[in-house]
């Protein structure tokens, strides 16, 4: 069975633990519940199915019944709180706590690198900038960033990007990307970080309205009335446009500046009956 550190859903861990024990010898949900001190023989089955939440008072008993020890119990407690959290900020805080527990015990959390990458705008910017500045010191890269950051921040980002395999440091000290684009894929926790990145990039875009010449940026927008059907068509067009931009980037053999392209389509009113135009 996989280690607890490889899970971002405590219900799945409980279900997998039960399936693993049952596959190896006679084991029932009644046995499981009894070992964790529950009178109901199906309580943990209902928890695993998402019909009940594991109570705070029972978390440690269940962890110990599954053979978790020391820091693994702490990790399981935070994992339960993460899955029960009601808002994104709490989820981000709890996942960072899980990363801290894992790092303290030299363990790696599934999605940990992806979550960290998309949590901070500096990561994708330095990932683009570093390969285009061979031989540059962190201070030089820091001064090239908009807005300015510190050399220490650049060093920290470079260390993370190389450790996570998103950049490779060559023998001559230069960097190269291991992949041209970084995408999230079908993950459970990383979208929390992506939403935070969208917020950061939106705030940076606002700053450029006043601080960057119009010749060096492009802003445009439309406010429009759409049906649900037309909305889907526009979304498809945006996807096609994004792909065409990626094709341009891949065909370009020279990089002179890092840019951010934000694409947003969001509602400005509640849904209405929909009169014909």
Phi and psi at 82, nearest 5°, equal: -60, -45
In a domain, 23, yes or no: yes
In a domain, 39, yes or no: yes
Domain, as residue range, for 47? 4-105
CA pair distance 132, 155, nearest whole angstrom: 16
CA pair distance 272, 268, nearest whole angstrom: 12
Per-residue pLDDT at 175 = 95
Q: Count CB neighbours of 187 within 10 A.
A: 16
Closest CA to 201 of 261, 126, 144, 148: 261
In a domain, 111, yes or no: no
Which CATH number does the domain housing residue 67 bear? Answer: 1.10.260
Q: For tokens 């009113």, name the residue.
A: 269
In a domain, 226, yes or no: no
Per-residue pLDDT at 141 = 97
Q: How many domains does the chain have?
A: 1
Per-residue pLDDT at 82 = 94
Per-residue pLDDT at 115 = 86
In a domain, 59, yes or no: yes
| DSSP code at position 4 | G
Closest CA to 115 of 205, 182, 204, 176: 182
In a domain, 100, yes or no: yes
CA pair distance 30, 44, nearest whole angstrom: 9
Determine which helix (DSSP H) or strand (DSSP E) holds 71, and give its type and residue range. Answer: helix 71-84
CA pair distance 227, 272, nearest whole angstrom: 10
CA pair distance 204, 109, nearest whole angstrom: 30
Q: Where are the beta strands (DSSP E) in 27-179?
A: 167-169, 175-177
Per-residue pLDDT at 184 = 64
CA pair distance 264, 223, nearest whole angstrom: 12
CA pair distance 39, 30, nearest whole angstrom: 9
CA pair distance 93, 115, nearest whole angstrom: 12
Is the CB of residue 20 less than 8 Å from the CB of residue 12? no
Per-residue pLDDT at 221 = 95
Beta-bridge partner residues of 169 = 175
Per-residue pLDDT at 6 = 85
In a domain, 120, yes or no: no
In a domain, 262, yes or no: no
pLDDT in tens, the chain (277 residues): 888 988 989 999 999 999 999 998 899 999 999 999 999 999 999 999 999 999 989 999 999 999 999 999 999 999 999 999 999 889 989 999 998 998 888 887 778 888 889 989 999 999 999 999 999 999 999 999 999 999 999 999 999 999 989 999 999 999 999 887 787 655 678 888 888 899 999 999 999 999 999 999 999 999 999 999 999 999 999 999 999 999 999 899 899 999 999 999 999 999 987 666 6
Beta-bridge partner residues of 177 = 167
pTM for the full model? 0.71
């Amino acid at each position: 069975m996989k280690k607890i550190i490889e899970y971002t859903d405590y219900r799945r861990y409980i279900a997998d633990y039960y399936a693993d024990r049952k596959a190896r010898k006679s084991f029932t949900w009644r046995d499981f519940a009894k070992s964790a001190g529950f009178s109901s023989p199906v309580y943990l089955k209902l928890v695993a199915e998402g019909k009940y939440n594991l109570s705070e008072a029972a978390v440690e008993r269940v962890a110990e019944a599954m053979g978790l020890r020391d820091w693994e119990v702490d990790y399981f407690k935070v994992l339960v709180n993460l899955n029960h959290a009601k808002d994104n900020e709490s989820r981000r805080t709890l996942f960072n706590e899980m990363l801290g527990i894992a790092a303290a015990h030299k363990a790696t959390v599934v999605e940990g690198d992806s979550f960290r990458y998309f949590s901070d705008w500096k990561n994708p910017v330095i990932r683009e900038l570093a390969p285009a500045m061979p031989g540059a010191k962190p201070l030089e890269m820091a001064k090239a960033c908009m807005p300015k950051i510190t050399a220490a921040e650049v060093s920290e980002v470079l260390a993370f990007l190389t450790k996570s395999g998103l950049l490779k440091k060559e023998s001559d000290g230069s960097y190269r990307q291991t992949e041209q684009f970084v995408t999230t894929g079908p993950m459970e926790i990383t979208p929390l970080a992506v939403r935070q990145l969208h917020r950061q990039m939106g705030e940076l875009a606002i700053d450029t309205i006043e601080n960057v010449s119009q010749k060096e940026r492009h802003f445009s927008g439309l406010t429009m009335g759409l049906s649900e059907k037309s909305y889907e068509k526009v979304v498809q067009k945006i996807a096609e446009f994004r792909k065409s931009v990626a094709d341009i980037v891949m065909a370009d053999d020279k990089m002179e500046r890092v840019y951010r392209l934000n694409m947003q389509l969001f509602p400005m009113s509640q849904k209405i009956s929909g009169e014909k135009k």
